[in-house]
Amino acid sequence: MQTLTQRRILLGITGGIAAYKSADLVRRLKEWGADVQVVMTPAATQFVTPLTYQALSGRVVRLDLLDANAEAGMGHIELARWAELVLIAPASANFIARLAHGLANDLLSALCLASDRPLAIAPAMNQQMWLNPATQANCQTLRQRGVWQWGPGSGEQACGEVGEGRMLEPLQLRELIVDFFTQACPLAGLRVLISAGPTREAIDPVRFISNRSSGQMGFAIATAAAAAGAQVCMVSGPVPLATPAGVERIDVESALQMYEAVLQRAAHTDIFIATAAVADYRAATASPQKIKKTQETFTLALERNPDILATVAALENRPFTVGFAAETERVLEYADDKRRRKNLDMIAANQVGAPDRGFESSNNALHVLWEGGEQALPLADKITLGRQLVALIAQRYRARQY
Ligand code: C5P
């Protein structure tokens, strides 16, 4: 069984006798396909040598914040970003206190401070140290900040006492890690295709018709879908945004180019999310030369662009299809009508025209509709909304499977 295939786990080991159990944990994680990078505090090296973890993980163990050689490879900030999960096991009382107070005077604590990745601790210490109100308060602080706390278990301790404070067993920790990835990566193994940004419809070589879409919503959704474990391909109109990590990006300009790029891939995708603000019309004939201002009035003939979303939704082998509806009035009514007409699995409606949300803003509010259900996602930054929408899409996608 390879349930953790290619999962990138940074395993922090701090000074405690349970460090010997973490050697087995590394083995168990490798056994299920995980990529494990061990980082040790100086105190941890007093219990087990770095060579042990190096042999088991197949990666050089990182020890020192000020090691110029190691930093020249993957620096501590890159390490912090590399991980999909940071697990401190064993987490000593001292290390938990340092984490709670944001200290950064060794590699592991600096890494935790520099990381925005999910962090879990597996406390391991003497039962009195565990029960001490200082430790309890530190753990509570960490939990409130979203740190996962796994254990401790109770039983006989290395010091001879009996009580709470034993590190969970490697197999128990591995189960928790698998659960974590299942919860945190609801799109694992799925292919997601996203259209994003505006399109540009050429009038002549210097002029075009476009709209106010900034691409931020689509890019936020691509980021969230990749973080949820999906293989993400994004077909984007011209926007000056950086490509999210792990996302394949295909740049296009016009609606016709977007149509082709999307249709080429739509049959091989599990979920299609159309966030692009595709121009409804293009110039019937784009002039090959710059149009001169010789006429007093100028009429431009336009013709309809194909509806990418409706075309994908009409495919025989269609993916789970999600559309957007940007409306200035009667938002829900128009959106639900669009959902039915275009035969969509879900539609995310938003009000445009207000200054604090929608086009050209970093914030938005969505109201998501599907057959027999709806959910409001209140005003928030687009990154947060992207995550919430992806979680909802994953839920509905899975529900449809059964
Ligand atoms: O009909 P309307 O343009 O308002 O529908 C908006 C939804 O349809 C959005 O999800 C948008 O990305 C998609 N769309 C499309 N191709 C078009 C027009 C809209 O995919 N030509």
Residue the block writes with tokens 């027999």? 372
Q: Decide if pLDDT at 402 tops 70.
A: no
Convert 86-99 to b/e letters by CB count within 10 Å (16 or more is b).
Answer: bbbbbbbbbbbbbb
Question: Which 3-state string (H, E, C) describes the chain?
Answer: CCCCCCCEEEEEECCCCCHHHHHHHHHHHHHCCCEEEEEECCHHHHCCCHHHHHHHHCCCCECCCCCHHHHHHCCHHHHHHHCCEEEEEEECHHHHHHHHCCCCCCHHHHHHHHCCCCEEEEECCCHHHHHCHHHHHHHHHHHHCCCEECCCEEEECCCCCEEEEECCCHHHHHHHHHHHHHHHCCCCCCEEEEEECECCEECCCCCEECCCCCCHHHHHHHHHHHHCCCEEEEEECCCCCCCCCCEEEEECCCHHHHHHHHHHHHCCCCEEEECCECCCEEECCCCCCCCCCCCCCCCCCEEECCCHHHHHHCCCCCCEEEEEEEECCCHHHHHHHHHHHCCCCEEEEEECCCCCCCCCCCEEEEEEEECCEEEEEEEEEHHHHHHHHHHHHHHHHHHHHC
Domain ranges of the chain: 8-183, 191-401
Nearest residue (CA) to ligand 1, atom 9: 324
Distance 64 CA to ligand 1 centre (A): 52
What pLDDT is stored for residue 68 in this prediction? 82
The tokens 């000593």 sit on which residue? 92
Residue 366 has pLDDT above 90, yes or no: yes
More confident residue, 359 or 148: 148
**Rounded Cα distance, 382 and 219, in Å:** 9
Distance 377 CA to ligand 1 centre (A): 20
* Most ligand 1 atoms within 8 A of CB, residue of 211, 307, 311, 368 to mutate: 307
210 has a pLDDT exceeding 80? yes
CATH class label, 191-401: alpha beta
CA of 44 to the centre of ligand 1 (A): 56
HSE, side-chain direction, 13 A CA sphere, residue 47 = 19
Q: Which amino acid is at 278?
A: V
Distance (angstroms) between ligand 1 centre and the Cα of 324 equals 7
**Residue with CA closest to ligand 1 atom 5:** 325
**What's residue 189's pLDDT?**
81
Task: Point out the ligand 1 atom lying closest to the alpha carbon of residue 275.
Answer: 12
How far apart are alpha carbons 110 and 104 in whole angstroms?
Answer: 4
Residue 41's pLDDT band (cuts 50, 70, 90): very high
> One fold for both 8-183 and 191-401?
yes
Please, which pLDDT band fits residue 288 given cuts at 50, 70 and 90? very high
Q: Write out the two tokens for 246.
A: 């792990």
Mean pLDDT computed over 279-294: 96
Query: Active site includes 139?
Result: no
CB-count burial class (<10 Å; 0-12, 13-18, 19+) for 207: middle
Measured from CB, residues less than 6 Å from any atom of ligand 1 are 195, 255, 274-276, 278, 305, 307-309, 323-325, 338
- What is the pLDDT, as a whole number, of residue 76? 85
The preferred substitution site among 260, 278, 312 for testing ligand 1, maximizing ligand atoms within 8 Å of CB, is 278
Do residues 335 and 350 lie in contact, with contact meaning Cβ atoms separated by under 8 Å? Answer: no
User: Would the pLDDT of 1 be above 50?
Assistant: no
Reply yes or no on whether the pLDDT at 401 is more than 80: no
Write b or e for each residue in 114-144: b if 16 or more Cβ atoms lie within 10 A of its Cβ, otherwise e: bbebbbbbbbbbbbebbeeeebeebbeebee
Residues 6+ apart with CB under 8 A from 59: 35, 36, 37, 38
Point out the ligand 1 atom lying closest to the alpha carbon of residue 280: 21
Neighbours of 387 (CB within 10 A): 19
**Separation of alpha carbons 186 and 395, rounded Å:** 8
Give, rounded to a whole angstrom, the gap between the first and last alpha carbons of the chain: 24
Q: Which ligand 1 atom is at minimum distance from the Cα of 276?
A: 12
pLDDT value at residue 358: 67
pLDDT in tens, 63-93: 998 888 887 778 888 888 899 899 999 999 9
Q: Given pLDDT bands bounded at 50, 70 and 90, which one contains residue 52?
A: very high
- Of ligand 1's listed atoms, the one at least distance from the Cα of 255 is 21
Tokens matching residue 186: 């609801």
- Asked if 124 and 158 touch (Cβ cutoff 8 Å), the reply is no
User: Ligand 1 centre and the CA of 131: distance in Å?
Assistant: 58
**pLDDT tens, residue by residue, 155-206:** 988 888 889 999 999 999 999 999 888 888 889 889 999 999 999 999 999 9
Specify the pairing of strand 119-123 against strand 162-166: unpaired
Write down the mean pLDDT value for the chain.
93
Query: Judging by DSSP bridges, how do beta strands 231-236 and 247-251 pair with one another?
Result: parallel
CA of 382 to the centre of ligand 1 (A): 19
Residue bearing the bigger pLDDT, 145 or 378: 378
227: left (phi over 0), alpha (psi -120 to 50) or beta: alpha
pLDDT in tens, 87-104: 999 999 999 999 999 999
Alpha carbon of 206 to ligand 1 centroid (Å): 25
pLDDT > 80? residue 360: no
Atom number in ligand 1 closest to CA 322: 10
- Examine the pLDDT at 20 and tell me if it is beyond 50: yes
Cα–ligand 1 centroid distance for 307 (angstroms)? 6
pLDDT of 324-339, one tens digit each? 998 889 999 999 999 9
* pLDDT band at residue 291 using 50, 70 and 90 as cut-offs: very high
pLDDT for 2 equals 59
Lowest-pLDDT range, 58-72, 98-112, 243-257, 336-350?
Answer: 58-72
Q: Measuring from atom 21 of ligand 1, which residue has the nearest CA?
A: 307
pLDDT tens digits for range 214-237 = 999 999 999 999 988 899 999 999
Site of tokens 């926007």: 239
pLDDT for 399 equals 84
Of 201, 210, 252, 309, the one to substitute when testing ligand 1's pocket (max ligand atoms within 8 A of C-beta) is 309
Look up tokens 């659960």; give the residue: 179
70 token code pair: 């190691």
Fold for the domain defined by 8-183:
Rossmann fold (3.40.50)
Q: Pick the catalytic residue: 112, 139, 159, 233? A: 159
